[in-house]
Each structure stands twice: as structure tokens, then as C-alpha cells.
Amino acid sequence: MAGELEGKVALVTGASRGIGAAIARGYAERGALVVGAARSADQLRALAATDPEHISTATVDLRDEESLSGLVDLVVERHGRIDVLVNNAGVAPAADFATEPVAQWRNTLEVNVIAPMTLAQAAGRHFIAQGGGKIINIASTTGVRGKPGLVGYSASKGAMVRFTESLAAEWARHNIQVNCIAPGAFATDAQSAVLESPDLLHRRVRRIPAKRMGDVSELVPLACLLAAPGSDFITGSVFVVDGGESGKL
């Protein structure tokens, strides 16, 4: 609904494309001031151009501690406050676990776990001082049920789920809600190999009871609910959005 996030300030990571871009645009359409953060300056400019009144951007590498540490402060300097943090950015390297280098695990954990925790801690200081806030972590169904070939990624998203639940319990007394969205198969750039192969796409969709992949726009209403005042009693929850794939026998 237009205006439901009027006056809210949101930071969305991984906002240059896919799920992050869809959430950033959805928040802006509902009246929020959004700072979209990612590594790709060109794609961020394209995002901002869709709604320059509501969307501004910040180029950041989540593996760069110095760049990361000032991101929340940048949002506050720009808009005077921060109300919503969406930890969406992530990496998902596929590998044979027996030969996957330790350096790749470290990179996956740094981007998918350490960076979101660092941003949550920084945003949380402002939330506590101002009397509340929202943190929305984007995990994956692989964080709920493991997947072969994605051991490191699955472990990192599993950590995100437990992080969500633990932080929600710790910060509920500060009126800070922490929730998690766990998408299944969505038609994004990350799924390009599947989308470009009719055979792979057929096999992938066959495992989904809804018989299709999701569209990123279908995650926006949930992300908006979790950012809005109507979700003030929802915290520590993990919302699986996968067309029924995780729930089937």
C-alpha cells in the first residue's frame, strides 16, 4: 500500500539487482527513503534513476571493513536516522566440498555472516537510542535444509537463521524486530545457468510444487510488512518463500 513506509529510512544491501533492487524499489514506492548499497556503481545508478526522490546509493564492498563500518553512519548523515536494515547481499559459490579451498569458505562467511552482523550491530546502536527499528535478513532455503554442492553457502545461511532468532530474543526489549526471509528458487541473475537451459529449468521446476520459479516482486510485500509498524509483534521468525518446495515430503 502506498505510504505505509512514509518517513522511514532504510538501508538495503545487495541493492544493485535481483531481490535487493526489488525491495529497494518496493520501499521507495511506499514512501521510504532508501539507501541502496552494493559494489556495482553502474547498476546502482540505474536503480536510483528509477526514483531519485526516494532512492540514493552507496558503493561498498562488504569485505572491506573500513568501507563497511561507515555505511550506517553514512545513512544517518544523509537522512538523520535509520529505521530499517535489510541484509540482502551475499555470495553463493558452488563447489565440491572435498576440494573447496578454505579461503573460499572464509570469503563466503565474511560476506554472508560477518558483514550482516557488523551492520546489524551498527544499526542497532541507533535503533536502541531512538526506541526501535527493524532488521530483515535475507537467507535461503539452503539455510533451512542443506544442499549438496553448496556446503559453505548453506552453512552461512544456516548461521543467518540462528543469528536472526538469537538477536531477536536479545533485542526485543528495545522494540527492535529481527526477522528472516528464506527464498527458494527465484528467477535472478544467480540462476542464469538454470534459466538459460530448458533442460535444467525443467528439472529445477519439477521439484517445486508450484511448478515455477518465483519472481522477485513476490518477495516485496513480505519485506514491506516486516519493515512496517504492523509487524511490531513479529520477531525471530523465518519466512520460507519457495512455492512449497521445502514443505513437500
- The residues carrying an active-site annotation are 153
Q: Characterise 132 by phi-psi region: left (phi > 0), alpha (psi -120 to 50), beta (else).
A: left
CB atoms within 10 A of CB 107: 15
C-alpha pair distances (Å), 182 with each of 41, 142, 202: 27, 8, 22
Strands (E), 14-83: 33-38, 55-59
Taking the CA atoms of residue 143, residue 145, residue 150 and residue 155 in that order, the dihedral angle to the nearest 10 degrees is 40
- Cβ(90)–Cβ(16) below 8 Å: no
